[in-house]
Amino acid sequence: MITTPHYLASQTGLHILRSGGCAIEAAIAAAAVLTVVYPQMCTLGGDNFWLIYNAADKELKGLNASGRSGSQVTRTVYENLGLSQIPSRGPLAAITVPGVVSGWDKALGYAKEHRQARFSLDELLSDALVYAEEGFPVSKSLADWIVVDTDTQDTEQRCLQRYPGFAKLFLPEGQPLRACTRLRQPDLARSLRILMDQGAAAFYEGELAHALVRGLRDAGGLLTEEDFARHTADWVEPLSTPYRQYTACNLPPNTQGVSSLQILALAATLDMQALGEGSADYYHYLIEATKLAFADRERYVTDPDFVQAPLEHLLSQDYIHSQAARMDRSKARDFASLLDPKGDTIWLGVVDGAGNAVSLIQSIYNDFGSGIVPEGTGILLQNRGSFFSLNPKHPNTLEPAKRTMHTLNPPMILENGRPRLVYGTMGGEGQPQTQAALVTRILDFGMTPQEAIDAPRWLYGRTWGASSNTVKLEARIDRAVAHDLEARGHVVEYVADYSDTMGHAGAILIDQESGILQGGTDPRSDGQALGY
């Protein structure tokens, strides 16, 4: 079974599974299609992170394929330009090496080493190539984001048509692409052919690396060919915490995986049945748990090669219970996040017939990333580096060859050492919160994955450009519940039902006795959950 936020990617992944491919191969093929058909969320110019369960060895592996900042990228560069923060768009935001291709390559190598792989990289990229060459129908989501990001009144965060490569791709003849029109990407197709012919090394040391650096340099960027050549994707040890009779797993920093696990650990101290799903108490306690977890995130989470977070302490039962005691049932905690992480991202999950499982998340950070498309490549580069701080005292301060704190985190729930729930979502600060919604609704309240994903969602934090943190509720949430939250001190803001703001979630629930899989996909996305 596979679940992704776009139907074409899900269909590709299912084809790989039906053809005898393993979970890793299906994930790569689907992820590659998503870089073509969902460029507002992810491209070859982004990063990815993996949780991989190997059923034969009963091994859970973590893979960090996020890029580091360039060797010439320093705070002084921005200070000399009179900037107090890194621009959110443009060449000075495209300051980290893209890691997506290295993640695919490393994961496929693992599948080959463990005799799971049946396909080569070029075979796995074949559907992506077809959609790049022959085109695909523009989704409403893609069309809507093009309109949003060509707002000429917002030159700081939008107005992406100022970048020639973006305009060439998404505004043919000067007009935004409309839904259900065909989008062909011949430059991206050429880049995919190079990867298929020459392998992943071409992206970091070969023809594509040269083209990306040259195009970025011409636009005023800072990355060098040496930065690309030094890039590596790295295996990391997953983190875990108990949740009821289960084990919740995620990745360590530079991801916010520890925050997602802290929220679940705090939720595990609560009697969910007594609270009741969808009650004011339910929302209140999970929002308060989020605030406590985010406070720790701001203190500690960055590249562990630069700052080591006290992970064992942060997930210890003593610390979790002391934090739980700080949650006031009647009053919202006053917490103003100094960070403002966003996330236009994709998450996908796969479980194959042998019991192998993948939780994969990849992103270019904001919608359409930096907006920079180096000439001739068709590859839209991420702006993940814009999340670095220029404050030298902040743990996530900008330094050369450093990985920034990442909102991306791919979760998985194990039971008796085997996958029970493969789940995840896009959505920046919303990722840990929606993960908590899925886990509590499925494992505590017995919802199916689809019911849990469909249910009304909330989001504590800021949307891009907002000046304050609010609790965003989908409009169908009971007004009495919302008024109760306001009475406790929460600042409530309503958003449309099934809003993109709430992210695109997915989940696969595994019955370990029967082997039956239940999948779900988000109606807020263009996705499908498919199995056989």
Q: Are 28 and 15 in contact (CB under 8 A)?
A: no
375: closest CA among 217, 231, 225?
Answer: 217
Burial 383-419 (b: 16+ CB within 10 A, else e): bbbbbbbbeeebbbbbbebbbbbbbbbbbbbbbeeeb
CA dist., res. 529 & res. 507, Å (int): 8
Q: Are 131 and 76 in contact (CB under 8 A)?
A: no
Q: At CA 191, angle to CA 121 and CA 350, rounded to 5?
A: 40
Measured between alpha carbons, how far is residue 523 from residues 1, 111, 277, 456, 471 in Å? 18, 32, 20, 11, 21
Q: Which residues contact residue 113 at a Cβ distance below 8 angstroms, ignoring those fewer than 6 apart?
A: none
Which residue among 4, 247, 290, 345 is the active-site one?
A: 345
CA dist., res. 437 & res. 506, Å (int): 12
CA atoms within 13 A on the CB side of 318: 2
Torsions phi, psi for 35 (to 5 deg): -70, -20
CA dist., res. 505 & res. 438, Å (int): 9
Residue 428 marked ligand-binding: yes
CA dist., res. 147 & res. 156, Å (int): 16
Find residue 183's DSSP bridge partners: 136
In three-state secondary structure terms, 33 is helix
CA dist., res. 338 & res. 322, Å (int): 23
What is the DSSP track for 79-140? HHTT-SS--SSSTTT--B---HHHHHHHHHHHHHHTT---S-HHHHTHHHHHHHHH-EEPPH
Q: Which residues contact residue 17 at a Cβ distance below 8 angstroms, ignoring those fewer than 6 apart?
A: 1, 2, 23, 26, 350, 352, 353, 532
Find residue 414's DSSP bridge partners: 247, 419
Torsions phi, psi for 412 (to 5 deg): -160, 145
Q: At CA 374, angle to CA 368 and CA 380, rounded to 5?
A: 20
H or E element: which one contains 450? Answer: helix 449-454
Residue 76 a catalytic site member: no
Q: Show binding-site residues for L-glutamate.
A: 428
Q: Which residues form the catalytic set?
A: 345
Which residues are known binding-site members?
A: 428
